[in-house]
């Protein structure tokens, strides 16, 4: 058993080390970041249902209705519309008193067929400054040091003076109106956008994003860092169809338009055919202007998500693994461990949900999955250990017990108690052969061995039938006991039944021997009392045995059977049988006998089955 414990402990320590190494990998390399993000999206979608976007941000959508509206087709034609349309709308919006107007549209190429239209739009921008988009793209880089100051590019102390970036700027317009902000879609490894650029870093230079620039220039504090974790809204922002507001702006008295005073207005594409749809936790087709509006709203209200330190997940994982390791070493059942781990998992998920409502992003999903994988390994290790322990128990007790009793011992897990030894009340039986010397003198040795083996088989069968433990063979004598390793409330009655069964089998055996069995007989002595029971011996050789005065007295009683009775039991055994199996036996009193080593004589009885 000690060897099994040591092996199990070493195995557990190895699994624990592997689990901790895996947690370290999760912490530093984040191999399951996609899993955390995907499962975190479920939380974000559910939590977003209770979030309503602020009313101070209004979206003017170039939606499909705007593209298909007959009046818009008559005035502006097919998309792309003349930029003068945007200029006229900007004049109208400026009269409504918005805090800021943002165009989420690219103006990178001049309109070669309608250059006057670009001039109208540029004049509107000069009179009513608005924000225009800037995109980091591919192609020929532009030196950042030569960009117009109005773009807001900022050089840090480590800035490379020759650094360049390929930029998609509003080159259709004069650089004097390039009041820009970066609108690049920031996607994670799985292609989903969960963050927005705040400050785009490149070789010591920093380009402001559109939300960061608008927020800062409208008096909102902008946090440090390159990106912002978006906290999405389940309800839509206030939205107006472009065609509706533009056509109303042409009227002398526009009606049914939302109040735009002190609002931030974002003009952008929402029609599917304009290809400004991006995957986010909310949808695979979230319009780009809605993502921009979310980032800006988060900054304005300070409710963007702040990631919890990865050390929190690491600490949770270590705590769970150490707890599972300890429980496994203490042999807590896998079912109970699984229940504890389930409670810890539900508590962690609930905490993650509560933190999300407090604008804190904690995604412990991969850590929890790692804990469940470790639990599976622990459960497998527990199964292997139990299997090894079962096999070890069978090997240890298989020599002494009936296979059915061995199964009960295995199920009961009493091997540790047996190894340590314990004092308990048992009933001990000694049996010895009478007349064996005469028999051995008339038969060859090989036949004597075969006869003895046959005799022992019959006697052991009677012992095992009554659930007895075969202690040992002492020459031609047998020692057995009841009450250990499995406790029994009727161990005395079982021992007497076994003795009577041995007597019956003896008669059949003598009949098989014929004339040679005339002088073959046995004597059986039984006594009930306390004894120390357990595995005794050296590390190379162990025997499961009983020691103490009870054993010695049973042996002495067996020696007193000669010339008195084939079976004799002590008064203690007689009294125990009468209590354990009343009416099953009758006991013939053979009086008291002096026993070596005891001052007081022992009263002996011959048991018989009741008719």
Spatial distance between the Cα atoms of 555 and 567, rounded to a whole number of angstroms: 12
pLDDT of residue 418: 46
User: What average pLDDT does this structure show over 302-315?
Assistant: 91
Is residue 592 within 8 A of residue 602, CB to CB? The reply is yes
pLDDT for 119 equals 95
pLDDT digits (tens, 9 = 90+) for 47-105: 999 999 999 999 999 999 999 999 999 999 999 999 999 999 999 999 999 999 999 99
Q: 121-125, 308-312, 470-474, 605-609: lowest mean pLDDT where?
A: 470-474
C-alpha to C-alpha distance for 84 and 68, rounded to whole angstroms: 19
Distance, in Å, from the CA atom of 139 to the CA atom of 165, rounded to the nearest integer, reads: 9
CA distance 455 to 461: 10
In the predicted model, what is the mean pLDDT of residues 220-228? 93
Query: Please, which residues bridge with residue 240 across strands?
Result: 60
Q: How sure is the predictor about 402, in pLDDT bands with cuts at 50, 70 and 90?
A: very low
The Cα–Cα gap between 408 and 413 comes to 9
> Of 8-17, 394-403, 526-535, which gets the smallest average pLDDT?
394-403
Dihedral angle, C-alpha 17, 19, 23, 28, nearest 10 °: 60
Query: Predicted confidence band at 2 (pLDDT cuts at 50, 70, 90)?
Result: very low
Nearest residue to 504 via CA among 561, 589, 566, 440: 566
Which span out of 139-148, 289-298, 484-493 was modeled with the highest average pLDDT?
Answer: 289-298
Q: Has residue 471 got a pLDDT over 80? A: yes
Note whether 22 and 318 are within 8 A (CB). Answer: no
Q: Cα separation of 243 and 203, whole Å?
A: 43
Q: Is the omega angle on the peptide bond into residue 281 within 30 degrees of 0, that is, cis?
A: no
- Residues 6 or more apart whose CB falls under 8 angstroms from that of 485 comprise 397, 401, 409, 414, 417, 418, 469, 533, 544
Q: At residue 574, does pLDDT exceed 70?
A: yes
**In this structure, which topology does domain 422-609 adopt according to CATH?**
Alpha-Beta Plaits (3.30.70)
Is 440 or 130 the better-scoring residue by pLDDT?
Answer: 130
Alpha-carbon span 276 to 280, nearest angstrom: 13
Q: What spatial distance separates the first Cα and last Cα of the chain, rounded to whole Å?
A: 48
Flag whether pLDDT at 498 surpasses 60. yes
Helical ranges in 474-537 per DSSP H: 491-513
**In the predicted structure, residue 513 carries a pLDDT above the cut 80:** no
Q: Give the C-alpha separation, 559 to 179, whole Å.
A: 115
Q: What is the pLDDT of residue 26?
A: 62
**In angstroms, what CA-CA distances link 31 with 26, 28, 43, 189, 370?**
6, 9, 21, 11, 12
Alpha-carbon gap, residue 211 to 134, rounded angstroms: 12
Domain layout of the chain by residue ranges: 2-20+28-33+307-393, 51-304, 422-609
Confidence of residue 378 (pLDDT cuts 50, 70, 90): confident
Specify the pLDDT at position 13: 67
DSSP state of 309: P
Average pLDDT, the chain: 87
What was the pLDDT predicted at 3?
39
**Average pLDDT in the 478-494 region?**
91
- In this prediction, residue 599 has a pLDDT band, given cuts at 50, 70 and 90, of confident
* Residue carrying structure tokens 């020929």: 140
Q: How confident is the model at residue 327 (pLDDT cuts 50, 70, 90)?
A: confident
Q: How far apart are CA 277 and CA 185, in angstroms?
A: 10
Q: Place 4 in a pLDDT band, splitting at 50, 70 and 90.
A: very low
Q: What is the DSSP letter of 158?
A: T
Give the side-chain half-sphere CA count within 13 A for 211: 33
């Amino acid at each position: 058993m000690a060897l099994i414990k040591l092996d199990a402990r070493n195995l557990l320590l190895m699994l624990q080390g592997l689990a901790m190494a895996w947690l370290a990998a999760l912490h530093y390399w984040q191999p399951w970041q996609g899993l955390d993000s995907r499962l975190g999206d479920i939380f974000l979608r559910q939590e977003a249902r209770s979030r309503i976007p602020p009313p101070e941000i209004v979206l003017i959508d170039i939606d499909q209705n705007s593209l298909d509206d007959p009046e818009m087709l008559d005035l502006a034609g097919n998309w792309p519309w003349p930029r003068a349309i945007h200029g006229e709308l900007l004049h109208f919006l400026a009269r409504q008193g918005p805090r800021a107007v943002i165009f989420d549209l690219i103006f990178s190429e001049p309109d070669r067929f309608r250059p006057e239209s670009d001039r109208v739009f540029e004049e509107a921008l000069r009179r009513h400054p608005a924000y225009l988009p800037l995109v980091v793209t591919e192609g020929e880089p532009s030196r950042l040091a030569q960009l117009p100051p109005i773009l807001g590019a900022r050089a840090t102390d480590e800035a490379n003076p020759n650094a360049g970036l390929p930029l998609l700027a509003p080159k259709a317009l004069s650089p004097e109106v390039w009041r820009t902000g970066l609108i690049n879609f920031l996607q994670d490894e799985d292609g989903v956008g969960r963050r927005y650029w705040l400050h785009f870093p490149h070789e010591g230079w920093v380009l402001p994003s559109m939300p960061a620039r608008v927020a800062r220039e409208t008096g909102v504090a902008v946090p440090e860092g390159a990106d912002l974790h978006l906290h999405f809204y389940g309800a839509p922002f206030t939205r107006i169809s472009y065609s509706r507001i533009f056509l109303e702006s042409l009227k002398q008295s526009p009606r049914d338009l939302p109040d735009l005073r002190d609002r931030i207005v974002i003009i952008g594409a929402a029609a599917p055919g304009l290809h400004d749809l991006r995957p986010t936790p909310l949808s695979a087709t979230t319009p780009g202007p809605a993502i921009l509006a979310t980032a800006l709203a988060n900054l304005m209200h300070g409710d963007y998500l702040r990631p919890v330190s990865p050390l929190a997940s690491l600490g949770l994982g270590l705590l769970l693994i150490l707890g599972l390791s300890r429980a496994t070493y203490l042999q807590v059942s896998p079912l109970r461990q699984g229940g504890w781990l389930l409670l810890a998992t539900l508590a962690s998920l609930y905490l993650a949900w509560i933190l999300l409502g407090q604008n804190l992003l904690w995604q412990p999903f991969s850590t929890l999955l790692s804990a469940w994988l470790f639990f599976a390994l622990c459960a497998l290790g527990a199964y292997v250990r139990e299997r090894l322990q079962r096999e070890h128990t069978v090997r240890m007790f298989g020599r002494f017990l009936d296979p059915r009793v061995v199964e009960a011992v295995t199920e009961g897990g009493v091997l540790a108690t047996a190894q340590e030894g314990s004092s308990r009340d048992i009933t001990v039986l000694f049996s010895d052969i009478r007349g064996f010397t005469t028999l051995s003198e008339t038969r060859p040795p090989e036949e004597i061995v075969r006869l003895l083996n046959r005799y022992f088989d019959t006697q052991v069968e009677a012992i095992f039938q009554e659930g007895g433990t075969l202690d040992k063979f002492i020459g031609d004598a047998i020692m057995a006991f009841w009450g250990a390793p499995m406790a029994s409330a009727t161990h005395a009655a079982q021992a007497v039944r076994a003795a009577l069964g041995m007597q019956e089998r003896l008669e059949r055996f003598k009949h098989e021997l014929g004339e040679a069995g005339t002088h073959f007989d046995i004597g059986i002595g039984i006594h009930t009392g306390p004894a120390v029971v357990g595995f005794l011996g050296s590390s190379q050789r162990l025997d499961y045995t009983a020691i103490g005065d009870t054993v010695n007295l049973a042996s002495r009683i067996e020696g007193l059977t000669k010339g008195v009775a084939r079976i004799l039991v002590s008064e203690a055994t007689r009294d125990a049988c009468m209590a354990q199996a009343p009416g099953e036996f009758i006991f013939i009193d053979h009086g008291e006998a002096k026993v070596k080593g005891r001052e007081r004589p022992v009263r002996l009885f011959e048991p018989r089955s009741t008719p």
